Amino acid sequence: MGTPLGNVRAFFLAGVCCIGSFLFAYDTGIIGGILVLPSFQKDFRYSNAAKTNVNSNSNSLLQAGAFFSCFFIWPFTARYGRRWSIALASLIFCIGAIIQTINTHHIAAFYVARVISGVGVGMATVMIPMYSAEMAPKHIRGRMGSMFQFFFTLGVMTSYWVTYAVSVHIKPSSRQWQIPIGLQLVPGGLLGLGMLFLKESVRFLAKKGRNEEALESLIWIRGGDSEEVREEMDQIIAGVEAEHLQTEGFKWKEVIQPANRYRLFITVTIQIGVQLTGNTSLAYYAPQVFAAVGAGDSKLLITGFFGVVKVVACGLFLIFLVDRIGRRWALMSGAFVMGSCMLIIALITKTHPPSATGGIKPAGVASITMIYLEAMAYNSSWGPVPWLYMGEIFNTRFREAGIAIGTATQWLFNFAFSQITPHAVANLGWRTFLMFCIFNWSLVFYAYFFVKETAKKSLEEMDALFAAKGANPDIAALEDAKLGPRRINSQDGTQTPEHSLHNGR
């Protein structure tokens, strides 16, 4: 079950890493808020007619930068490791954030800064699930992996309340939008500095043949040396060796191996599913969406409480549910509830259209309540689970490539939906929610037929879980390691069979 110190260090590692998720979310939420501030529009000198395009471009260019960074970070992390990759992501993001904060009076300069920040964010979103999954003990890996989404909800909530605060307490001026954007530098800097206090990934070091360093890292993250830690190290090394027995060096033909092909299919489709739920769109354009269902002048305040609901829901899931109900049933139940809420919102908005004047009507209250419930369902299912699932299903050999491809898919469809959503809300109205209802209910069937349960399984067991013919003919080597682990000699790093030691006890 792990030592208390080991659990503390594991959650500390996840917390530092997930500052990157906070960063991504804060940036996501803050843009939707500052774009409705007249001071931003005045400083960057664009017309009311251009508002929708500025909304779309400000978000989609960030995703474009993130999409291309996924392919750059893969070879970089394969050579230099996880820690330095996350530190580089922090540096690049901060450069973009500084440029965004400067009042250049040119929207094109702001767009360029968004692309730069997107590169940093994209790199971080590839590395964080990978690093967290590779270092987490299996009995708390679900909670650690779900912290990615928990920090995301914290970031979104913080951005909503910061936007609300500056809109109420700061008079329209450049400072009104510069403060929310400039605050991104705080988590951006902490992410990079935090890497100085962490160890490199155990599985990365083992893959590079640096077994003594890998053992030191594992002992640190587990809170001390023990027989259990030594046996876990043996299993990790055995798994890496089994993967290397097929060929030396990763080759693209491995993608078409049955087990890898299926896992890659799941990784790509599950990230598409995240976008189909409609929640990323709600996060980007929450003030505009709440206005569309009748929030009126209270849209920023209601958006702030929307962020609180997300944090509470994700926190409850993280503490009580993630390792109890498993991944598959969380996805199925969450998609069903989200689809039901979207249908109710569509019907209310259709039968009781929001008024352009006056306060919030009962129909608007009902729609807002449904959006809150839908967000709670998302942050207990399709919010945290796909990132966790993507980080844990691949073996060490294919993990960098698999997660890079999955994250690139997420950013590509994130880009598409950030372009579509403001136009959909403006032109389709209530039908936007009906569209997301259909998408969500389709995801129930997807999760039932395609997603395999991975809860409480070690990363070295994933090959067996996803095994198809030809997937990994040397998985027996791993099973042998479990039955008779090899001891790493502290003096010279060599390995000796341990069965005679067990027999002699």
pLDDT, position 457:
73
Quick check: 372 and 338 in contact, CB under 8 A? no
pLDDT, position 290:
66
What DSSP assignment string belongs to 358-376?
SS--HHHHHHHHHHHHHHH
pLDDT, position 66:
84
Q: Which residue type occupies 88? A: L
Using CA atoms, how far apart are residues 194 and 14, in angstroms rounded to an integer? 11
Domain boundaries, the chain: 10-198+246-455
What DSSP assignment string belongs to 243-267?
HHTT-SS--GGGGGSHHHHHHHHHH
Using CA atoms, how far apart are residues 427 and 447, in angstroms rounded to an integer? 31
Quick check: 271 and 129 in contact, CB under 8 A? no
And the tokens for 88?
């580089």
> Could you give the angle at the alpha carbon of 95 between the alpha carbons of 152 and 406, nearest 5°?
45
Quick check: 457 and 138 in contact, CB under 8 A? yes
Q: Which of 454, 339, 312 is nearest to 395 (CA)?
A: 454
Each of the 505 residues of the chain gets a pLDDT tens digit; together they read: 567 887 788 888 888 888 888 888 888 778 777 877 888 888 888 877 777 778 778 877 888 888 888 777 878 888 888 889 999 999 999 999 999 999 888 888 999 999 999 899 888 888 887 787 788 777 666 666 667 777 887 888 888 888 888 888 888 888 889 999 999 999 899 999 988 888 898 888 988 888 889 899 989 888 888 888 888 888 888 877 776 665 455 566 666 666 678 888 999 999 999 988 987 766 655 565 666 555 555 666 676 677 777 778 777 776 766 667 778 888 999 999 999 988 988 888 788 776 655 566 777 778 778 888 888 888 888 887 887 788 788 876 677 778 778 878 888 887 787 777 767 766 777 788 888 899 999 999 999 998 888 877 776 677 777 774 333 434 444 444 444 444 444 444 444 444 333 333 3
Give the three-state DSSP class for 63: helix
Where do runs of H (alpha helix) occur along 285-395?
A: 286-292, 299-316, 322-351, 362-378, 385-392
Using CA atoms, how far apart are residues 11 and 494, in angstroms rounded to an integer? 31
Using CA atoms, how far apart are residues 359 and 380, in angstroms rounded to an integer? 32
Using CA atoms, how far apart are residues 111 and 101, in angstroms rounded to an integer? 12
Residue 469: φ, ψ to 5°: -60, 125
And the tokens for 196?
């100085």
**End-to-end CA, the chain:** 23
Using CA atoms, how far apart are residues 40 and 102, in angstroms rounded to an integer? 12
Query: How many residues make up the chain in this entry?
Result: 505
And the tokens for 493?
């790093």
The second-level CATH assignment, the architecture, of 10-198+246-455 is Up-down Bundle (1.20)
pLDDT, position 497:
44
pLDDT, position 503:
39
pLDDT, position 101:
92
CB-based contacts of 98, cutoff 8 Å, min separation 6: 185
And the tokens for 432?
């936007």
| pTM (global) more than 0.75 | no
